[in-house]
């Protein structure tokens, strides 16, 4: 099942992705029973839970489509397609089949797929897996712990590993590991010191806007995360948009690594368009970052 490791870990309540997948399964069931209105109602709950507030189709299609700073554009696109399917079913084919397919895609996207998770690993074994993973990764440029439920003790062990073996790492995947804000706070100094890190995956955890704020503040210092190109914070507790300063920080780092010229929006299009393109998301993202 999608929620096995989501129910483990320090907190008694399951990780947010478990609830979201539950709603999707409920949508699938209501679609099969042809209860379209109920499916639309659950879809609204799901969208709200993921921070994509628009409930009416025109809001879904137009208002939120302008925000390019969503933490999880894949979910957003799939939810838009699902809203279209449920609210404007086409006559010539079976809309239930199409909606069910989108639900399956969303469930796949919002759940862990690591080998640890597939084998329904008992908690006591996760330490062994963590140790094995860390030892295996010494010669590789990625550290993939996705799906291993981590404790604070594990995080300390990982910090020690990063300090001693992290110089070659370009990618760190900590998705679906039960990470909370305190754990990330402890790890951040060890992560930002990695000289080659380009990708950091923190999706599917228990993180809140507090982590987003710390990450945003960190990115203002160009000496920290010198090569970071992307961070995935989707499918967490209440993180729905990327704050503008964080995007700016990522863009600055990227422009230092590439020889491509920087094209400024204001020079490239009418002032009206550039206003719509830059101020709206900024206002949206600030609101998304406040505690």
Helix segments in 88-240, DSSP class H: 95-109, 115-118, 123-136, 152-165, 181-192, 209-219
Dihedral of alpha carbons 267, 271, 272, 277, sign? positive
Enter the DSSP assignment of 174: -
Alpha-carbon distances, residue 18 vs 41, 95, 120, 195, 206 (angstroms): 18, 26, 15, 35, 11
- What percent of the chain has a predicted confidence (pLDDT) above 70? 68
Q: What is the pTM of this model?
A: 0.77
My answer on whether 69 and 206 are in the same domain is no
Number of neighbouring beta carbons within 10 Å of residue 282: 15
- Determine, yes or no, domain membership for 137: yes
pLDDT range class, residue 288, cuts 50, 70, 90: very low
Question: Distance between CA atoms of 286 and 291, rounded to whole angstroms?
Answer: 10
* pLDDT tens string 236-255: 999 988 888 999 999 999 88
**Token code pair at residue 25:** 């399964």
| Total domains in the fold of the chain | 2
My answer on whether 166 and 95 are in the same domain is no
- Determine, yes or no, domain membership for 115: no
| 6, 18 Cβ separation under 8 angstroms | yes
Q: If we measure between CA atoms, which residue out of 246, 220, 213 comes closest to residue 231?
A: 246
My answer on whether 96 and 29 are in the same domain is yes
Q: Which residues are CB-contacts of 282 (< 8 A; sequence separation ≥ 6)?
A: 244
Question: Distance between CA atoms of 17 and 233, rounded to whole angstroms?
Answer: 13
* pLDDT tens string 122-173: 554 556 667 676 666 555 789 989 999 999 999 999 999 999 989 999 999 9
pLDDT confidence of residue 192: 97
My answer on whether 65 and 187 are in the same domain is no
Phi-psi category of 120—alpha, beta or left, where left has phi over 0 and alpha has psi -120 to 50? left
What angle in degrees, to the nearest 10, is found between the helix axes of 244-257 and 209-219?
A: 40
Question: Distance between CA atoms of 81 and 101, rounded to whole angstroms?
Answer: 11
- Determine, yes or no, domain membership for 116: no
Average pLDDT, the chain: 79
CATH code of residue 238: 3.80.10.10
Owning domain of residue 213 = 124-289
| 95, 113 Cβ separation under 8 angstroms | no
Q: 241 forms bridges with which residues in the sheet?
A: 70
Residue at a domain's end among 69, 85, 109: 109
pLDDT confidence of residue 45: 94
Number of neighbouring beta carbons within 10 Å of residue 152: 12
My answer on whether 98 and 153 are in the same domain is no
Question: Distance between CA atoms of 187 and 66, rounded to whole angstroms?
Answer: 33
Q: 230 forms bridges with which residues in the sheet?
A: 199
My answer on whether 248 and 163 are in the same domain is yes
Report, as an integer, the average pLDDT of 41-68.
68
């Amino acid at each position: 099942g999608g929620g096995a490791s989501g129910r483990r870990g320090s907190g008694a309540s399951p990780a947010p992705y478990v609830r979201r997948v539950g709603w999707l399964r409920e949508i699938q069931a209501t679609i099969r029973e042809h209860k379209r209105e109920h499916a639309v109602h659950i879809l609204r709950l799901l969208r709200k839970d993921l921070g994509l507030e628009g409930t009416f189709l025109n809001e879904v299609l137009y208002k939120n489509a302008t925000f390019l700073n969503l933490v999880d554009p894949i979910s957003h696109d799939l939810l838009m397609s699902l809203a279209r399917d449920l609210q404007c079913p086409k006559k010539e084919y079976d809309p239930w089949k199409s909606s069910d397919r989108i639900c399956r895609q969303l469930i796949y996207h919002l759940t862990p797929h690591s080998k640890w998770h597939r084998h329904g690993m008992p908690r006591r074994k996760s330490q062994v897996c963590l140790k094995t993973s860390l030892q295996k990764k010494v010669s590789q440029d990625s550290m993939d712990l996705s799906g291993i439920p981590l404790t604070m003790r594990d995080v300390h062990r990982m910090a020690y590993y990063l300090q001693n073996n992290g110089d070659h790492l370009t990618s760190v995947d900590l998705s679906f590991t039960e990470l909370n804000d305190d754990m990330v706070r402890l790890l951040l100094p060890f992560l930002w010191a990695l000289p080659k890190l380009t990708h950091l995956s923190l999706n599917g955890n228990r993180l809140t806007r507090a982590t987003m704020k710390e990450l945003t503040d960190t990115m203002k210092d160009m000496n920290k995360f010198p090569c970071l190109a992307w961070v995935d914070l989707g499918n967490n507790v209440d993180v729905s948009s990327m704050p503008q300063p964080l995007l700016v920080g990522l863009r600055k780092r990227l422009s230092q690594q590439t020889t491509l010229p920087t094209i400024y929006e204001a020079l490239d299009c009418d002032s009206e368009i550039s206003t719509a393109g830059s101020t709206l998301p900024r206002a949206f993202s600030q609101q998304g970052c406040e505690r």
